[in-house]
Every structure is written in structure tokens, then in C-alpha cells.
Chains A and B, each alone.
Chain A
């Protein structure tokens, strides 16, 4: 494993321009094999465009997108290692779920029918009804089951949960973790429901307006910011010198999120000043960092992340 194999995914200076829009504006990324990645961002940020290119379903305007060191485009050997479940995955019109799974079983060498059967029971998916007649949630379940039972070396889930209720989503997350623990592989979960998937992720990539805003291990992000609340003057003197991610104020009160890990001395000092320190969940941190990055766009480019 330490033989420095090609990373599962490598993207170098990738651009994709449509007539008036840069969907990807110089994206570079390296994703290691055997990890769960979160690809987070708002709708229209470029997530789907990036995954389409990585799975050989689209061309970049320039730059490189490699899977295990090779371009996926019209490369059967690489494509056989990839599974991409789209938000609105299409199936042949007259197929039912059973037929869709049969077709997937033929394509994916590691297909596990037992796992598929178990998931069908978990999601209570009707197997004989035409896919066209399934509910939105059931349609998503078909995609989720294929994506998991395929056990592809690199699996992309693009917002796979549309129409799935909270219980069904939890089943998806739980089964995914269980199966990943037994069969580690590279999984890219694209989502805007950050808080739901945060604990599953080993690494977080945030994309906005076609650019990478954040590319960091989830564990080093957790606890890397703190919200300081109290009287404005005291807050301001306390946060002096730290990078500010966000500021709220109400009358003489201020609550400021700073990028900092405070030591014991600083915590004691905050307590003496009567300042409240509160932890910032990953979801908020991602939102704050993204917004702070956008604001800095207008000034000269500031290194936001480190």
C-alpha cells in the first residue's frame, strides 16, 4: 500500500466552459484510494460537471482528469472500475428494478447480489414494477442499491437521496459505512446536506462557482474554528489578529467566528473576560469558509484556508 500507487482520482487545472459560464474554473485535486470523500457545494457549483468528466461522460475544455492515472474517456478498463449514480439516473423505459440490477451485475465485476437483495428489503423496493412507475424515493433507492452493490473501486454518488425520507437516508448512510468497513474503496459523496453526512467523511472538498474553496481532512477541520460571543469591545480585543470567518452583532453584543484553535490560556482569558466560546459544527464551518472566500475574491486573493 505504501508503494505510492497512482491516486484514485487526480485532477489538474481542469476547466469546463459553456458559452457564457465557467462551470469549472481551474480545478486541481488529488483523492487517495480507500477513503470516503465529501464533495460539497451549492447547486450549480460544478459538482456534477466535475463528476461527469471524471467518469468519462463529458469533456473538459482544458486540463486533465485521471482515474488511477488514466483518462477515463473511452477507456473500458478504467470505466469498469467506476460507478456513477446521478441525481436523476436514467434507465431503459421498460425496465423494472430486477432488470436494472441484472444489467448492473453484468457490468460490474465485484457485484454482490446478496448485498443488493438485502438493500431491496431494507428499502422495501418493489422489484417488478416498471421503473417509470416508481416514486421519486424508490427511484433513488434503485440508484443507491446499484451504487453500493457494484462495489466499484471508485463510486460517485451525486445527491443520491432525492425523495428518500429521513429513515431511508439513514439506512443508506448506515449500510454504506458497514459495507465500506468490510470493502474499503473510494467513495465520493456529493451533497448539500452536509450535516447529515459530515461524520461519514474522511476528507472534505468544497467547490463553489467552479473553484475549490476547501480541500482538507474532516478531522482537521473539526474544531478549527470557534465562535466568540460577548460584549463587542471585549470580543474585538480578544479576536485581534485572528482570521474572521463571520460576524454577527446585535446592539452591544457581537458573535464572531474565527479560524483558530484556542489553547488553555486563551480559553481561560476568554472566560475571565466573560466571553462565551462555542464550537462550530462542520456544516457551519463549510458555509462560513465558503462565504469568507467569496468576499475575499473581491479584494486581493487571500489565502483563506491555512
Chain B
């Protein structure tokens, strides 16, 4: 389970954790998410901070509130998050990869080969770390 650190705003980290659970499918659409007090107790953070993280996802349409019951994952949330992540993928992963490759003198062809190899072996082995 990912840990919270205090080097970035915690409410953003909480929002990201929930998003990751949704993308991974552990939090299914239309299922209930933990209450802010449960988040606070579990991650040992201030309840107001946990609430801020959950509200961020409500604003983005990822979660919605059922009065008197709690927070739920919106239908379509997973696809929305995946689309966001796909559009951030190049900046977040490919550019740093390319930068490091250049530094080490790995050319485009070699890099492509490595990526291809990783994609195929990971697919056959499952995502083992």
C-alpha cells in the first residue's frame, strides 16, 4: 500500500491513491469509497485534509455523493482517468526515458528494442516487480 509523505500536499496524494485504485479496478464504478474519517485513520492524516482530497475528485466528476450514504465512484470514471493518464504518458514516462537514454548513448533503435522486449516479457510473465 502506497504511503503518504509530507513533501507534497496530502490531499493531492489521497486523490491520486483513489484514482489509482479506480484505474486498477479495485474500486469499481458505482462502488462506495471509504469515508473521510476512514481515510484519515488509515493514512494517519488530518480528517479535513482527507476530505479535501475526496472533494477534489467530486469536483472532477470521478466521485459523487449520495446524500446520507457516502461517496461513490461515478460511472465512466475509469475511462476518464485512463484517458488522462494516456495523455500524460509521454511527458511523464517517455521523455525522461529518452533523456536518460541519450545520456547513456542508447540510440532510438536500441531503445525501441528494449521497450518491445519489456512489453512482451511482462505480458507473458504478468507484471511481476
Q: Does B76 contact A (CB under 8 A)?
A: no
Contact with A along B34-56 (1 / 0, CB 8 A): 00110011011111110010000
* A201 engages B7 (CB within 8 Å): no
* A202 engages B7 (CB within 8 Å): no
> Smallest CB-CB separation from B36: which chain A residue?
A181
* B44 engages A200 (CB within 8 Å): yes
Interface residue total, chain A, C-beta cutoff 8 A: 31
Q: Which of A78-86, A247-255, A277-285 contacts B (4 or more CB under 8 A)?
A: A277-285
Whole-angstrom distance from the CB of B64 to the nearest CB of chain A? 22
Q: Which of B8-16, B21-29, B109-117 contacts A (4 or more CB under 8 A)?
A: B8-16
B9 proximity list for chain A (CB < 8 A): 219-220, 222-223
Cα of A260 to Cα of B48 in the assembled complex, Å: 25
A residues 124-146 near B (Cβ < 8 Å) are none
Q: Does A122 contact B (CB under 8 A)?
A: no
* B91 engages A198 (CB within 8 Å): no
* B96 engages A199 (CB within 8 Å): no
Cα of A199 to Cα of B6 in the assembled complex, Å: 7
B43 proximity list for chain A (CB < 8 A): 199
Cα of A103 to Cα of B46 in the assembled complex, Å: 31
Instruction: State which of A177, A202, A271, A282 has its C-beta within 8 Å of the C-beta of B6.
Output: A282
* A222 engages B8 (CB within 8 Å): yes
Instruction: State which of B45, B47, B99 has its C-beta within 8 Å of the C-beta of A271.
Output: B99
* A199 engages B47 (CB within 8 Å): no
Q: Does A152 contact B (CB under 8 A)?
A: no
Whole-angstrom distance from the CB of B5 to the nearest CB of chain A? 7
> Smallest CB-CB separation from B5: which chain A residue?
A281
Whole-angstrom distance from the CB of A176 to the nearest CB of chain B? 10
Cα of A179 to Cα of B46 in the assembled complex, Å: 11
> Smallest CB-CB separation from A272: which chain B residue?
B99
Cα of A174 to Cα of B36 in the assembled complex, Å: 15
Q: Does B107 contact A (CB under 8 A)?
A: no
Given A202-B49, A272-B99: A181 in contact with B11 (beta carbons within 8 A):
no
Cα of A283 to Cα of B7 in the assembled complex, Å: 9
B4 proximity list for chain A (CB < 8 A): 199
Instruction: State which of A181, A195, A281 has its C-beta within 8 Å of the C-beta of B47.
Output: A181
* B40 engages A198 (CB within 8 Å): no
B5 proximity list for chain A (CB < 8 A): 279, 281
> Smallest CB-CB separation from A264: which chain B residue?
B91
Whole-angstrom distance from the CB of B13 to the nearest CB of chain A? 9
Q: Which 5 A-B pairs have the closest CB atoms?
A: A279-B7, A181-B37, A223-B8, A282-B6, A198-B6
* A→B interface (CB under 8 Å): 35-36, 173-174, 177-178, 180-182, 184, 195, 198-202, 218-220, 222-223, 264, 268, 271-272, 274, 279-283
* B→A interface (CB under 8 Å): 4-11, 36-37, 40-41, 43-49, 52, 91, 95-96, 99, 103
20 pairs of residues in contact across A and B, judged by CB atoms under 8 Å: A177-B45, A177-B46, A181-B47, A184-B47, A198-B6, A199-B10, A202-B46, A202-B48, A218-B49, A219-B9, A219-B49, A220-B9, A222-B7, A223-B8, A271-B95, A279-B7, A279-B8, A280-B7, A282-B7, A283-B6
